[in-house]
Chains A and B, each alone.
Chain A
Amino acid sequence: MASGSKLRARLAPYLFVAPNVLFFTTFVAVPAVYGFWLSLFTTSPYRPTRFVGLGNFEALAHDDLFWRAVRNTVTFVVGDVALVVALAVAIGMLLNRSVRGRGFFRSAFFYPVLLSPVVVAIAWQWILNNRFGALNNALRWLGMRPVPWLLDASWAMTWVILVHTWATVGFFALIVLAGLQSIPPVLYEAASVDGATPLRRARHITLPLLAPSVLTVLILSLIHAFEIFDYVYVMTGGGPGFATLMMVQYIYRAGFELDQFGLAAAGSLVLFVIILALTALQFVMGRLVEAV
């Protein structure tokens, strides 16, 4: 009796983790390994599945559209991350001030984070609509020519970056805000007593103590940006032409529209390596920042 319950107590943790482990194994670990395997084959509805070794990666290297997708993604990432990090720090600092209506501002910046990518894309499409959009209406009212915002390649990329920043910056600002609030006020008081100027306080207290939060924002926003799909897919469909086609859409298109699973799996691996490298970078930099 006693040994029975002891055995059960020993088994219990394994039974408790079992469902979660089963889910992760089936829907993350197995697909991840399967993805590697799949990338070594050509699969197409018209020909039998065939082992091609690194052939899919070679095909990617020769595919202009893949490079286009890589270039588009990098352009997007650079613009998006620069804006998000700068604005998140600015907004985080603004929200940390004890100003009137701080709660309202916090809500205002945070609300878009909760909206689905589809809703965000639709709302902005309506605003940017060629003929009836609010923005072109405003331009006409000002006596200027309306601009076909989403039908012009460089404007479309610009708007995709701006809209994604609008939708996600509130989340990153919260991380900065949490970082600011974890700085003990005593430090500032002591520095003031010692006669430190606001600039020196910012340089020697805020900057070093906020660095880990900013680093988190930087890496997380980089990863999020590389994973971009839904906002852009619904807003521009990757267009005009292929001007805003991102890596994830390239993979989606290769796999689910052209039925080339092997090629799509190879494209996924390229993206995987980028994301893994960024995660590793976060780990290493985190250690460095902590060591300073």
Chain B
Amino acid sequence: MFGPVLWVVVSSFKVPSELYRVPATFLPEQWVFSNYTDALRQFPFVRYLANSVFVTLAATAVTLAINSMAAFALSKYRFPGRDFLFLFMLSTLMVPLQVIMIPIYLVVARLGMIDTLWGIVIPPAATPTGVFLLRQYMLTIPDELLDAARIDGAGEWRIYRQIMLPLTRPALAVLAIFSIMWRWNDYLWPLIVISSDRNFTLQLGLARFQGQLVTDWNYVLAMTVLSILPITLVFAFLQRYLVSGIATTGLKG
């Protein structure tokens, strides 16, 4: 299962003449970094990288903020319309981007967010998965804690900030990892929203280099390796949380 990625990594260290040799060598005869340094010099890779980092972090921050607020309301208050709102949010799971990409594009265009990084960040920021995951976790936190704080005179916002959020940290961490993964890897939505080169994310950049008539495989492979480094690190250190997140929600995104 690791094979294809290992092959890409190994290939990315070969000089072009060796990369295109038939029959191919297995390991590089001589390990070089020139594919990486040349690619970084010739393409606005750093720009794409910065765009991807911005989009990923901003979207994750917005997602955590608004999903945790909604989950708090849905798990710790009884109020008219609560069940309706919960069902409304869950029902958005049934409307994937693929079936509303045309009208959502027109809505986002009306809001003036086409070809902007915020246009990638904002529309998918509220996730039903996040609301569901956080709500299930918050339900396990005893109401007595909140009542005690109320008796001590804490306001609702303070209860959310100083009691709820710290106690929900494990679930927030799981959602953060998921969100980082979704946004970093996202392709279809940025493809629809972004048109100018300076707003490209890594995924858009990679797909375009590869799609050119004559593909410079040495550059494409090197940049592919750089793009999977962060995800691989997340995987290496946080795999446990990802697996438990999937096991508890049964949701991928």
Chain A residues engaging chain B, CB cutoff 8 angstroms? 5, 8-10, 12-14, 16-17, 19-21, 23-24, 26-32, 34-35, 38, 106-127, 129, 131-132, 134, 137, 140-141, 166, 170-171, 174-175, 177-178, 216, 220, 223-224, 227, 229-230, 234, 237, 248, 251-252, 255-256, 261, 264-265, 268-269, 271-272, 275-276, 279
Contacts and interface: CB of A to CB of B under 8 A. Distances in A.
Given A24-B126, A132-B19, A117 B252 contact: no
A174 B246 contact: yes
Interface string B77-100: 101001001001100101110111
Given A20-B67, A127-B7, A140 B22 contact: yes
Contacts of B20: 131-132
Contact of A132 (B124, B160, B217): B217
A132 B24 contact: yes
Contact of B82 (A13, A125, A269): A13
Interface string B124-163: 1110100100000000000000000010000111001000
Given A17-B73, A118-B207, A234-B207, A141 B23 contact: yes
B5 interface: yes
Contacts of B206: 118-119, 122
B1 interface: yes
Given A20-B69, A26-B107, A252 B243 contact: no
Contacts of A123: 4-5, 7-8, 224
B181 interface: yes
A177 B2 CA distance: 20
B45 interface: no
A265 B96 CA distance: 14
Interface in B1-56: 1-2, 4-5, 7-8, 11, 19-24
15 contacts: A17-B85, A19-B69, A27-B107, A27-B123, A106-B243, A117-B187, A121-B210, A134-B24, A174-B246, A175-B246, A251-B101, A252-B192, A256-B192, A269-B99, A275-B94
B77 A32 contact: no
Interface string B205-219: 011001100000100
Given A178-B247, A234-B210, A31 B7 contact: no
A127 B4 contact: yes
A276 B94 contact: yes
Contacts of B95: 28, 32, 272
Task: Report, as a range, how many residues of chain B touch the other chain.
Answer: 35 or more
B220 interface: yes
Interface of B: 1-2, 4-5, 7-8, 11, 19-24, 65-67, 69-70, 72-74, 77, 79, 82, 85, 88-89, 92, 94-96, 98-108, 122-126, 128, 131, 150, 155-157, 160, 181, 184-188, 192, 203, 206-207, 210-211, 217, 220-221, 224, 227-228, 231-232, 234-235, 239, 242-243, 246-247, 250, 252
A20 to B, nearest CB: 4
A40 to B, nearest CB: 12
A137 B24 CA distance: 7
A265 B103 contact: yes
Contacts of A134: 7, 24
